[in-house]
Amino acid sequence: MIFVYFFLPLLTFFYLTLRGLARLDLKIPLLTLSLVCTLITLFIYKELGGAVNFSLVIDQEILSRFIANESKNKEKDAIEVNRIIFELSNKKEAQAGEIYLLARRLKDINQNELASLAFAQLYRNFKNELGGAVLAEYAQVMFLNEQRTFNTEIEKVLKEALLKSPDNPSALTLQGLKELENKNADLTIKLWTRALDSLEKERDISELKILIETVKKLKNQ
């Protein structure tokens, strides 16, 4: 598909160039010679990795405008981002950091479905290398993508996050929500109180304190 961008311009270039040499005694038709030159050039371009580099440039443009919310066709670009996630995660030389960075950028703009997909590919390829904080982010994104409901996959990843990072505030907060859903208000309060010790932003601390007080009032009713 990439070569379509170059085929006609190259063919035109060679034809016009060779036409300037028409005074030479050419043994084959000018158009045929131009076609041969074009195909040879594209072959060399491919072997030198030019096609791959061009694809990377195009993909970066798609990601940049999608994340900046500058897409003229958001749905079409979302499909392209979906493709990029799979292609990136299936590269032989794929790095965990590359996939995580993309997942995080999608999470930051509340594209939870695509972020969840990117985290899923990260988990599939690098499960044993992921720390508790990253696993907690994955569980959180899945939870948001599932309209704030739990399922077995979320619970599984959340459990792994807490095993690796028992004091991770995101994991503790999410586990607290799970316990609240199971009507274990005391355990929810205990988990959220533990999470307070690991939070750094005053806003996050204040919001969680309000939630704790709300649960306490509901428990005492």
Which one has a higher pLDDT value, 86 or 9?
A: 86
87-116: b or e for each residue (b if 16 or more CB lie within 10 Å)? ebbeeeebeeeebbebbbbbbeeebbebbb
pLDDT by residue (tens digit) across 125-143? 999 999 999 999 999 999 9
Residue 16 — very low, low, confident or very high, per pLDDT cuts 50/70/90?
low
Residue 10 in tokens = 């190259």
Given a cut of 50, whether residue 4 has pLDDT beyond it is no
What is the reported pLDDT for 62? 81
| pTM of the full structure | 0.73
pLDDT by residue (tens digit) across 55-105? 555 677 888 888 888 888 889 989 988 988 888 888 877 788 888 988 999
Distance of alpha carbon 189 from alpha carbon 196, whole angstroms: 11
Residue 64 in tokens = 């940049």
Distance of alpha carbon 51 from alpha carbon 54, whole angstroms: 5
Query: Are residues 119 and 104 in contact, defined by beta-carbon separation less than 8 angstroms?
Result: no
Distance of alpha carbon 149 from alpha carbon 133, whole angstroms: 20
Kindly state the average pLDDT of the residues 177-203.
94
Find the range with the poorest average confidence among 75-89, 102-116, 163-177, 179-193: 75-89
| Percent over 90 (pLDDT), the chain | 52
| Percent over 70 (pLDDT), the chain | 73
Find the range with the poorest average confidence among 39-43, 68-72, 180-184: 39-43
32-58: b or e for each residue (b if 16 or more CB lie within 10 Å)? ebbbebbeebbeebeeeeebeeeeeee
Q: For the chain, what is the mean pLDDT?
A: 82
Instruction: Give 25's Cβ-side CA count (13 Å radius).
Output: 0
Number of Cβ within 10 Å of residue 19's Cβ equals 11
Residue 52 — very low, low, confident or very high, per pLDDT cuts 50/70/90?
very low
Query: Are residues 194 and 167 in contact, defined by beta-carbon separation less than 8 angstroms?
Result: yes
